[in-house]
């Protein structure tokens, strides 16, 4: 008799939820996805008014991770889609993905998960009781596994306690989550607090309508461009295995210096009042091509932190004051929590203890996984997908997690590394680097590309895998979930990057890169020289 499929509850139908449903199906599990709103897409589905329990974006949001780096690994984004997509285009891609893999029928919309509790026999079965609520009615059901895909950009972090006098400020103040478009700020004087990607985007957009925008930052930021060398997307240029390998030969200080020189070559961060005390690798990148233009035009004035608010304005930490302020936006980030899990998983100031940012280490059975609870230097979607692929293998019992103490040791090590590298802020609790984290999870899932054998078997592909952008298709070349289209997707990725730009085709255009056999020669030479002079760089720190 065939074994009954394991029933898996997927909480949330955003990008993480969608790929999780698909991974469950690929691995012969039976998913039921609960989505509190009426549609898929999570954060990326724009609505004029913020909804409770769902992340909220402004109308103009354009993603800052490029299409080849953010796509799901077996479903490339159409070649004519722009490299950096508007939220409406992103939704289009998610809908294509859901349709192609027929995912919608597994989703129960307008259904909120209100509690997830261990069943009394959890230590032997690993099962969960899940209570959901839909149109005022509660229902309970038993599941063999739970995958939490509820996002971490929903709850506004509004640190009013740090801003004395805010209670007497007579203008309007709100969180960036509530910002939708700039028209109503025409002719106004607006302060934006925080210089993450929300703060940068809001300051720039508001400055086109407002009379004056002040961008207040407590520590400044290094600002990167979306458009990098030769007009390629910055993540395409930076996220290569070759660069990751090269980085290992350098000290952290050297890497910082090179990166800071690069961004300062575009505009001197000290002249623009943005230079922070911290090094560039110690922050989450603020990506904004327009901010320096708005600063040099005087439409955005960079200010230090606010010491206190007055009834009509603000006094900054340098003693300067700005009066007649109409509105203040706190672009001060988010905090996350999982109220439906009650005490099963504790989150304190965005600190949570999860093995590989996925599995709670203390459970008697590994039947709970968090998907997308990471803040990568790069796109989140392929990482969430890879997390799901690992989790479904674990749920099926094909991969065993280490002991609780080994998992705790790994968690502690990661926390230590994070706190050494990043400035102290509740922003930096779930930070991961794109290639190292993908490789780490892929290694466990048995899908990390084997470069050496690839060089021997398929040198053309190997060159692109090593020196080209580390696109998600690399993790479909082998192992469970191998996809036959992966090789082609990798070898055609540069065409998909250029295609949407070719709206005026030039006769003499040649996209010719260095021939691949010459690239092989250069790579072999580089490895030989490196091995001779920097042998330690072959071993991860
Ligand atoms: P979400 O998209 O937040 O989806 C979670 C879903 O879960 C929602 O639909 C919600 O309704 C549902 N849900 C929550 N609780 C429950 C419950 N109890 N029961 C049922 N359903 C529930 N990432 C990038 O990679 N690149 C970017 O450029 C980028 N830009 C961003 C821009 C902004 C303004 C913000 C705020 C974030 C950005 N992010 C970006 C990060 C973003 O979080 C991810 O891109 C992605 O949307 C996360 O998907 P998710 O499915 O994990 O979460
Ligand atoms: P964020 O990255 O957490 O940035 C929050 C900012 O607020 C930081 O500058 C932080 O400064 C500051 N801040 C926090 N608490 C403060 C306090 N008490 N006093 C003064 N300043 C304070 O939040 P976000 O910008 O909303 O971004 C959230 C996520 O969405 C990120 O992943 C981001 O990349 C993404 N995003 C992407 C886009 C896009 O793709 N276009 C747009 C917006 C957001 P410190 O550094 O000093 O803590």
Residue-wise pLDDT for 432-449, tens only, equals: 999 999 999 999 999 999
Residue 333 Cα to ligand 1 middle (Å): 13
Question: Within a 13 Å sphere around the CA of 270, how many CA atoms are in the beta-carbon half?
Answer: 3
Query: Which is nearest to 9 in space by CA: 285, 407, 86, 24?
Result: 24
CA of 197 to the centre of ligand 2 (A): 6
Residue 507 burial (C-beta neighbours within 10 Å; 0-12, 13-18, 19+): exposed
Q: Ligand 1 pocket: which of 148, 150, 374 to mutate (most atoms <8 Å of CB)?
A: 150
Give the model's pLDDT for residue 540. Answer: 44
Cα-only R_g, the chain: 24
Looking at residue 513, its pLDDT comes to 52
Residues constituting the chain: 541
If you take atom 38 of ligand 2, which residue's CA is the nearest one? 197
Nearest CA to ligand 1 atom 32: 63
Rounded Cα distance, 76 and 67, in Å = 8
Ligand nearest to the CA of 202: 2
Question: Does residue 28 register a pLDDT over 90?
Answer: yes
> Is ligand 2 within 6 A of the CB of residue 159?
yes
Cβ atoms 74, 476 nearer than 8 A: yes
CA 238 to ligand 1 centroid distance, Å: 24
Partners of 62 in the beta sheet? Answer: 86
* Residue 199 near ligand 2, beta carbon < 6 Å: yes
Residue nearest to atom 36 of ligand 2 (CA): 197
Q: What percent of the chain has pLDDT over 90?
A: 90
Please report, in angstroms and rounded to a whole number, the separation of the first and last CA atoms in the chain: 50
How confident is the prediction for the chain on average, in pLDDT?
95
* pLDDT value of position 521: 76
Nearest ligand to the CA atom of 423: 2
What was the pLDDT predicted at 435?
97
Annotate 437-451 with b (16+ C-beta within 10 A) or e (fewer): bbbbbbebbebbbee
Q: Is any ligand 2 atom within 6 A of the Cβ of residue 425?
A: yes
Above 50 in pLDDT, residue 260?
yes
Distance CA 221, CA 238 (A): 19
**pLDDT the model gives residue 510:** 53
Q: Has residue 169 got a pLDDT over 60?
A: yes
Reduce the DSSP state of residue 479 to 3 states and report it.
coil
Q: Which atom of ligand 1 is nearest to the CA of 151?
A: 53
Mutate to test the pocket of ligand 1, among 43, 45, 69, 380 (most ligand atoms within 8 A of CB): 43
CA–centroid distance, 381 to ligand 1, in Å, is 10
Q: Are 448 and 475 in contact (CB under 8 A)?
A: yes
- Could you tell me if 98 and 18 are in contact, meaning their C-beta atoms sit under 8 angstroms apart? yes
What's the gap in Å between 402 CA and the centre of ligand 1? 29
**Rounded to whole angstroms, how far apart are CA atoms 183 and 208?**
9
* Distance in Å, CA 223 to ligand 2 centroid: 13
Element (H, E) at 321: strand 321-322
> Cα separation of 200 and 182, whole Å?
14
Residue where the block lists tokens 């698909």: 22
Report d(CA 280, CA 390) in Å as an integer.
32
pLDDT tens profile 497-506: 999 999 998 8
Distance from the CA of 229 to the center of ligand 2, in angstroms? 26
| Residue of the CA atom closest to atom 20 of ligand 2 | 218
Burial 6-41 (b: 16+ CB within 10 A, else e): bbbbbbbbbbbbbbbbbbbbebebebbbbbbbebbb
Mean pLDDT across the stretch 450-476?
A: 96
Quick check: 329 and 188 in contact, CB under 8 A? no
Taking residues 150-166, what's their average pLDDT? Answer: 97
What tens digit of pLDDT does each residue of 331-384 get?
999 999 999 998 789 999 999 999 999 999 999 999 999 999 999 999 999 999
Q: Report phi then psi at 407, rounded to 5.
A: -65, -40
Q: Is 537 a residue whose pLDDT tops 60?
A: no
SS3 at position 527: helix
**C-alpha pair distances (Å), 272 with each of 222, 281, 491:** 11, 20, 41
> Which ligand has an atom closest to residue 15 CA?
1
Pocket of ligand 1 (CB under 6 A): 11-17, 34-37, 42-44, 53-55, 57, 61, 63-65, 70, 112-113, 149-151, 153, 198, 340, 372, 379-381
Q: What is the mean pLDDT of residues 508-516?
A: 58
What is the model's pLDDT at position 541?
Answer: 38
Q: Give, using CA atoms, the residue closest to atom 18 of ligand 1.
A: 113
Ligand nearest, relative to CA of residue 194: 2
Residue 140 contacts residue 131 (beta carbons within 8 Å):
yes
Q: Is the CB of 176 under 6 A from ligand 2?
A: yes
Residues 6+ apart with CB under 8 A from 72: 19, 22, 97, 381, 382, 385, 472
Residues 107, 32: Cα–Cα separation, whole Å? 6
pLDDT bracket for residue 299 (50, 70, 90)? very high
Residues near 209 by Cβ (< 8 Å), separated by ≥ 6?
Answer: 182, 183, 185, 186, 187, 188
**Which residue, by CA, sits nearest to atom 11 of ligand 1?**
54
Judge contact between 461 and 454, C-beta under 8 A.
yes
Check pLDDT > 90 for residue 163.
yes
Q: How far is the CA of 136 from the centre of ligand 2 (A)?
A: 35
* Confidence at 532, pLDDT banded by 50, 70, 90: confident
| Model pLDDT, residue 536 | 61
Is residue 507 very low, low, confident or very high in pLDDT (cuts 50, 70, 90)? confident
Helices (H), 339-498: 381-395, 404-421, 434-445, 451-457, 459-467, 486-491, 493-498
Percent of the chain exceeding pLDDT 70 equals: 96
* φ, ψ for residue 376, nearest 5 deg: -85, 155
> Which atom of ligand 1 is nearest to 334's Cα?
36
């Amino acid at each position: 008799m065939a074994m009954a499929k394991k029933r898996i509850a997927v909480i949330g139908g955003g990008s993480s939820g969608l790929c999780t449903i698909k991974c469950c199906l690929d691995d012969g599990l039976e998913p039921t996805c609960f989505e509190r709103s009426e549609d898929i897409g999570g954060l990326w589905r724009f609505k004029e008014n913020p909804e409770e329990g769902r992340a909220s974006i402004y109308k103009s949001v354009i993603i800052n991770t490029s299409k080849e780096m953010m796509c799901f690994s077996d479903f490339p984004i159409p070649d004519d889609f722009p490299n950096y997509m508007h939220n409406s285009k992103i939704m289009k891609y998610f809908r294509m993905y859901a349709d192609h893999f027929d995912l919608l029928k597994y989703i129960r919309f307008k259904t909120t998960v209100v509690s997830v509790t261990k069943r009394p026999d959890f230590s032997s079965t690993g099962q969960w009781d899940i209570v959901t609520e839909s149109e005022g009615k509660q229902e309970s059901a038993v599941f063999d596994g739970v995958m939490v895909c509820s996002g971490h950009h929903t709850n506004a972090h509004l640190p009013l306690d740090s801003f004395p006098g805010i209670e007497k400020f007579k203008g309007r103040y709100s969180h960036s989550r509530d910002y939708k478009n700039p028209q109503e700020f025409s002719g106004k004087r607006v302060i934006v607090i925080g210089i993450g990607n929300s703060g940068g985007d809001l300051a720039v957009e508001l400055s086109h309508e407002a009379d004056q925008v002040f961008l207040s930052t407590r520590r400044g930021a290094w600002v990167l461009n979306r458009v990098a060398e030769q007009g390629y997307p910055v993540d395409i240029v930076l996220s290569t295995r070759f660069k990751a390998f090269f980085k290992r030969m350098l000290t952290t200080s050297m890497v910082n210096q090179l990166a800071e020189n690069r961004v300062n070559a575009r505009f001197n961060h000290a002249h623009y009042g943005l230079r922070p005390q911290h090094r560039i690798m110690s922050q989450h990148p603020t990506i904004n091509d327009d901010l320096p233009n708005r600063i040099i035009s005087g439409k955005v004035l960079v200010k230090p932190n606010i010491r206190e608010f007055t009834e009509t304005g603000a006094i900054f930490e340098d003693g300067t004051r700005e009066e007649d302020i109409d509105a203040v936006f706190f672009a001060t980030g988010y905090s996350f929590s999982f109220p439906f899990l009650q005490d099963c998983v504790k989150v304190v100031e965005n600190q949570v203890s999860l093995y590989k940012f996925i599995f709670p280490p203390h459970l008697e059975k590994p039947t709970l996984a968090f998907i997308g609870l990471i803040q990568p230097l790069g796109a989140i979607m392929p990482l969430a997908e890879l997390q799901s692929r690992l989790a479904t293998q674990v749920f099926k019992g094909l991969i065993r997690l280490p002991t609780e103490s080994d998992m705790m040791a790994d968690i502690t090590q990661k926390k230590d590394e994070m706190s050494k590298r990043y400035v102290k802020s509740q922003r930096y609790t779930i930070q991961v680097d794109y290639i190292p984290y993908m490789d780490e999870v892929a290694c466990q899932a048995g899908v990390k590309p084997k470069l050496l054998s690839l060089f021997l078997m398929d040198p053309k592909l190997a060159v692109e895998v090593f020196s080209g952008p580390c696109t998600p298709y690399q993790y479909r070349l082998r192992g469970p979930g191998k996809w036959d289209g992966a090789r082609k997707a990798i070898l055609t990725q540069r065409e998909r990057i250029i295609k949407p730009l070719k709206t005026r085709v030039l006769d003499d255009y040649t996209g010719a890169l260095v021939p691949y056999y010459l690239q092989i020669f250069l790579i072999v030479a580089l490895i030989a020289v490196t091995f001779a002079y920097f042998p330690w760089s072959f071993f991860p720190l």
